[in-house]
A = this chain, B = another copy of it.
Amino acid sequence: MKVVIVGAGAAGLTLASNIRNKDEKSEIIIFTKSEDIAYSPCAIPLVLGGIIESFDDIIMHDAKHYLDKNIQLHLSTAVTAVDSSKKTITFKKDSKSETITYDKLVLATGNELIAPDFDIDNRDNIYHLTNIHDGRIIQKSVEGKKEIVFISNMSIGIESAYELAKKGYDVTFLEQSFGILPLFLDGDMSGKLVELNEGVNFETNANVISITTNGAKKEIHYNDKIITADVVILPSNKVPSTVLAKQAGCELGDFGAVKINEYLETNVEDIYAIGDCVEVKSHITGTQTVSPAGTTAVRQAMILANNLAGNKLTFNPVVNTVVSKVGDYNYASSGITESFANMIEMPVVSTCIETCQKARYYPQNNKLYIKMICKLDGTVVGCQMLSKGDLSSRIDTLSFVITDNMKCEEIIQKEFSYTPSLAMVINPIVQISQEIMKKIEK
């Protein structure tokens, strides 16, 4: 089998490695326009903050790692054409074009930035922050500067804002929405996250109109105000990269991303698509959505590798389970927010509790804030958490609850572990389920 993979992000590289793990013989060829591969974009804020020493540390493998596994990896190489009837692709390297055949073609082309919807008179000291290349540039450009303004960024931006503030920069975050991370946190929880943390000056509902230059300073015009900055980080709005998919005859979905079935197959025979360029189904609403997350890409890659090896695993509808660190606090989310439920007019009941991670009397403890959103029959559709302590496995449990359509009354029947130094005897998820049950009974 000759597998051609276009794209070497989390999706493409994980797929290549997983195919190789199952099968020593297949020919595996990857093309990427980029020079940087196999790094963790989520770790960029940690390098900017100095928690991880260097950008080199977050690169997990070099090209040789893949060559050693007999995976052909073409860096800085654009695939310029696909012919799905002849089953060929054409790529351009060092200004020479070449055409090769494939048995299976996997589009893992990711997404691409779109320009912000406001005017910028001059791009000096204005950057995007989406990849390791951006990270290295920003790390240098902020040196010796003071004021940094972030505009409506998602996780990597918000995390970087806090990390740079900790290093002594004067950081402002202008958020267009009602609160930060609006896809994952309701206003009450994101407000709490901002309130618990220190160091970054936040403005929500900030509608940026333009950025102008005044000597060495940038002036960001928003609402009826102006704020100055030495460095500006732009929003990272992106659209799926679908040029090749369209050329190959692949159908796109409601969000302009490649349409795939549960086996990650496009409508074109022997062409598959995974990662940020595809549309997926939402577990809660049953409708199409996008899920541009590394975890989604990796999961799709593992499932596709299994299926290319003859299995028939399905990529299930997503609940968007996330965890991350903002300043001194971790946040986690799975399922839909209450704001989203309201938007789609789904009747829900929700509650928030403040509890502990460990037994109340245990000395080294962390507060835990949980919000849970349920349908009126008690089925959990969303959960959000904040704590200085680890939330990763805790939200994974909720991810299972939500994908399995569990009700609160089923949660209190579940078995949770307990020891005073690590957990509460009545698990916080059980505590909040009981509160929701009380609300529903009323």
Contact = CB atoms under 8 A, between A and B. Distances in A.
Interface of A: 10, 14, 21, 40, 42-43, 46, 51-52, 57-58, 60, 294-296, 298-299, 302-303, 306, 311, 313-316, 318-325, 330, 332, 334, 359-363, 389-397, 399-401, 403-404, 409, 412-423, 425-427, 430, 434, 438
B295 A415 contact: yes
Nearest to A430: B302
B422 A392 contact: yes
Nearest to A40: B420
25 contacts: A40-B361, A42-B420, A43-B361, A43-B420, A51-B421, A52-B362, A52-B363, A58-B361, A58-B420, A295-B415, A295-B418, A298-B425, A299-B412, A302-B430, A302-B434, A303-B413, A313-B413, A320-B415, A322-B418, A322-B419, A390-B390, A393-B396, A399-B414, A399-B416, A400-B414
Contacts of A430: 302
A96 B415 CA distance: 42
A406 to B, nearest CB: 9
Given A325-B421, A361-B58, A422-B325, A295 B416 contact: yes
Nearest to A391: B422
- A-B pairs, top 3 by smallest CB distance, nearest first, are A393-B393, A323-B417, A392-B423
Contacts of A324: 419
Given A43-B420, A46-B421, A313-B409, 9 more contacts: A52-B362, A295-B425, A313-B412, A316-B415, A321-B416, A323-B422, A332-B417, A392-B422, A400-B401
Given A330-B422, A393-B396, A421-B325, A52 B361 contact: yes
Contact of A418 (B58, B294, B311): B294
Contacts of A417: 295, 321-323, 332, 334, 391-392, 395-396, 399
Q: Which of A313, A415, A422 has most chain B Cβ within 10 Å?
A: A415
A390 B422 contact: yes
Contact of A318 (B319, B330, B332, B415): B415
Contact of A359 (B40, B303, B359, B434): B40
Contacts of A419: 42, 322-325, 330, 392
Contacts of A426: 14, 298, 302
Assembly of this chain: how many copies? 2
Given A43-B420, A323-B417, A422-B325, A404 B403 contact: no
A345 to B, nearest CB: 25
Nearest to A296: B415
Contacts of A409: 306, 311, 313
A429 to B, nearest CB: 8
Nearest to A429: B396
B298 A413 contact: no
A397 B139 CA distance: 38
A389 B416 CA distance: 18
A264 B193 CA distance: 42
Contacts of A303: 412-413
Contacts of A42: 418-420
Nearest to A395: B417
A422 B394 CA distance: 11
Contacts of A362: 43, 46, 52
A310 to B, nearest CB: 10
A415 B299 contact: yes
